[in-house]
Amino acid sequence: QVQLVESGGGLVQAGESLRLSCAASGSIFSINVMAWYRQTPGKQRELVATINSGGRTNYADSVKGRFTISRDNAKNTVYLQMTSLKPDDTAVYYCNVLVRFTTYWGQGTQVTVSS
């Protein structure tokens, strides 16, 4: 069993920055992929960024150049550094990890960006 605890969400003004953290704990042998998703009420969940075990990253077009995903393997933690935030970035952000053949979800953290 793997548990994910997210932190770092909050209310900021457009143009400001936030860093989200997601720490994994439990029965972890290896984490293949770590990712961040976001969801706004009435819309489907959107994949924001991924990072694999080798450090390769991928980003949604809407956040390229503004968001950076990183991981600390020693701490089993994934981060999402968000800069130049826009009101459209407002959403609940969820971390997700792939451990062997099972995916796990964080509880979600609210990010609200005011104009």
Which residue, chain included where needed, has tokens 């809407």? Answer: 62
Give the pLDDT confidence of 75-90 residue by residue, as tens digits. 999 999 999 999 999 9
Q: In the predicted model, what is the mean pLDDT of residues 10-27?
A: 97
Give the pLDDT confidence of 42-59 residue by residue, as tens digits. 899 999 999 999 999 999
**pLDDT surpassing 90 at residue 29:** no
